[in-house]
Amino acid sequence: MPELRRVPVNDVELNVALAGAGPAVLLLHGFPHTWELWTDVMAELAADHRVIAPDLRGFGASGRAASGYDAGTLAEDAEALLTALGESSAAVAGIDAGAAPAFLLALRRPGLVRRLVVMESVLGGLPGAEEFLAGGPPWWFGFHAAAPGLAETVLEGHEDAYIDWFLRAGTLGDGVRPAIRDAFVRAYTGREALRCAFSYYRALPESAAQLERAVSTARLTVPTMALGAKPVGAALGRQLRPIADDLTEHVLEDCGHIIPLHRPHALLALLRPFLDGDGVPARLP
């Protein structure tokens, strides 16, 4: 089991899972996850890396901040966390809501981020995701970002059914292990937990503006890998192609949105060689 530690960063205290020793790897989860999203990949990565997997602000056991759910602030949280843990550089991987802050951190601090992995997300309104977004963003984006308190009022008392839907859809119907499912449900139960989760969606316009400004003045120079599955597919890679100097792209077939839990071995087969710098994936299982 990883060590769990409370680490103050900026205006919030993060709950952080730590395992292993060696070059640092920072793992940023999305919705509706906690650090336990990475359970099935942490043990192998920890064999020769220091794996750092926080609950993002407002999620899981981290502090429920009143604000700061935009991608820029989350990138600052990640930088402050690495500093607090004494890490001068790290590979950074982000999925879903964790992808945009991982990207912004690499764009802003290429000396800090050795390698970047982003998966199953789109980066605001950057060109390249038009086909994926042709029918509009996923339905829950609008629901979560509706009038303040609406989604919380509708869902309070029914969090388990709502989280279960995302876990089934994100694994193409397979679901996740009961212990992890229960941990996610606990993390998103209660009005304040829901408020924090939906604050990520309510901050999406601000995050999109931050991304647009960032790419207008800088290129992504660190080695980057874009991973897609269902439903995002190749959209993220297409967004990154015009702005990344060193980009590797993969789409995992027969894999749902929650890659680290649905297809952890396929993820590791791509992630391990990329982190080690040889760029040659092991044979996918």
- Does position 283 have pLDDT exceeding 60, yes or no? no
Q: How many CB atoms lie within 10 A of CB 4?
A: 13
107-148 pLDDT, tens digit each: 999 999 999 999 999 999 999 999 999 999 999 999 999 988
Residues listed for the chain:
285
Query: For the packed helices 204-217 and 71-84, what is the interaxial angle rounded to 10 degrees?
Result: 70
- Does position 281 have pLDDT exceeding 70, yes or no? no
The share of the chain scoring above pLDDT 70, in percent, equals 97
Q: What would the 3-class secondary structure string for 69-88 be? A: CCHHHHHHHHHHHHHHCCCC
- Does position 268 have pLDDT exceeding 60, yes or no? yes
Amino acid 227: pLDDT: 98
The mean pLDDT value of the chain amounts to: 96
Look at residues 162, 123, 119 and name the one whose alpha carbon lies nearest to residue 144: 162
Q: Which residues of 31-48 are buried (b: 16+ CB within 10 A; e: fewer)?
A: bbbbbbbbbbbbebbbee
Fold adopted by 3-276? Rossmann fold (3.40.50)
Amino acid 284: pLDDT: 42
Instruction: Please state the domain extents for the chain.
Output: 3-276
145-193 pLDDT, tens digit each: 998 899 999 999 999 999 999 999 999 999 999 999 999 999 999 999 9
Phi-psi region of 274 (alpha: psi -120 to 50; beta: other; left: phi over 0): alpha
Amino acid 285: pLDDT: 41
Phi and psi torsions of 260, nearest 5°: -65, -25
Q: How many CB atoms lie within 10 A of CB 145?
A: 19
Amino acid 136: pLDDT: 92
- Does position 278 have pLDDT exceeding 70, yes or no? no
Amino acid occupying residue 184: F
- Could you give the 3-state DSSP secondary structure of residue 260? helix
Rounded to whole angstroms, the Cα distance separating 233 from 129 reads 10
pTM: 0.96
- Does position 7 have pLDDT exceeding 80, yes or no? yes
